[in-house]
Each structure stands twice: as structure tokens, then as C-alpha cells.
Amino acid sequence: MKTRKLLPLIILTVAAVLALSSCDAILDAIFASNQITVDVAVFGTLQQPSNPGSYVSVVLSNTSGYVASENGYSRSSIDGFGYVHFYVTFPKLEDDTYFLSVLYHGYLGGIWASPFGSTYFYDPDGYLTNNCTMPFPSSYDSTGRSATFNVEIY
């Protein structure tokens, strides 16, 4: 009779110990996917913050080809270095090597400029590269599941 009453408590204790020792594994199982955020910094004189037309288009691809694309309309105000930032996020990515292609579509002085951009970007630790393998451990995220890459357009 005592054993029957203790059994749920034993099960709870074992479950709690297992859970505590595998917190990271549980979190990885729940949030298994990778996320890439692209911070496109455009030099302020290339566009007027008051004009909502300017945007960036970012294409994500891997060795098999196209993966996804997003346009970034959100922007920050001009930072201390004279850049305006556009952000694009690609969530729920599989473990793979990715390439980025960024084009800036500027609307300045009432006309659309020819888009231009870059396929090179800075990784979270500031190194220039043209590809990233997810997960991408860095000093900002030891798991590597979420990485922000920076592109400068000037």
C-alpha cells in the first residue's frame, strides 16, 4: 500500500531529474529550426527616410537553389554612422549552407534608381563572407540557431 502511494512521487521525481538534466535538449526539440536575420544598412544619402518607397529585397538560396525571398520595408532612423537599417528575417530554416543576395531598391528625388546590392555580408562576429552554415554558433548565440548577418550598401 505504501509503495502504491509512493509510486507517483517516484515517477515525478525521476521525471523532474530527467527534465532538469535535459533542458537544452528539450528546448532544441521545441525550437529546432534555424533563423537568419539580415540587417541591410543603407547609407542615408541614398534615400530619404520620409519616402516609404525604398526597400530591400533579399534572396536566400542553398546549393540546390532558391530557398526563400523577402522584402524589407521596415527601417530604423539614421544611426550614428549615417546608415538606415532594413531588416529581413527568414524563420524555420533547416540545417544547411545558405547564400544571401541583397538588392536595394531606392526611391530618391521622385524616381526609382536601378537596384544594386551585394552577395557578401558580415557574419555575427564581423567576418566578411558569402555563405553561412546553419546552425552558426557565434559570440552572440552559442547554439547557432539564430544568426544576424549584416550587409552594407553605400
Residues forming the site for other proteins (CB under 8 A)? 8-9, 12, 15-16, 19, 23-24, 26-28, 30-31, 35, 140-143, 145-146, 148
Minimum CB separation of residue 64 from other proteins in Å reads: 26
CA distances from 119 to 19, 30, 55, 61 (A): 43, 32, 17, 11
Minimum CB separation of residue 148 from other proteins in Å reads: 8
The C-alpha cell of 151 is what?
550587409
Nearer to other proteins, 118 or 143 (CB): 143
Minimum CB separation of residue 17 from other proteins in Å reads: 12
Nearer to other proteins, 15 or 128 (CB): 15
Nearer to other proteins, 19 or 128 (CB): 19
CA distances from 109 to 30, 48, 67, 149 (A): 48, 8, 34, 30
Nearest Cα residue to 132 out of 86, 96, 82: 96
Rg of the chain on CA atoms, in Å: 22
Minimum CB separation of residue 60 from other proteins in Å reads: 18
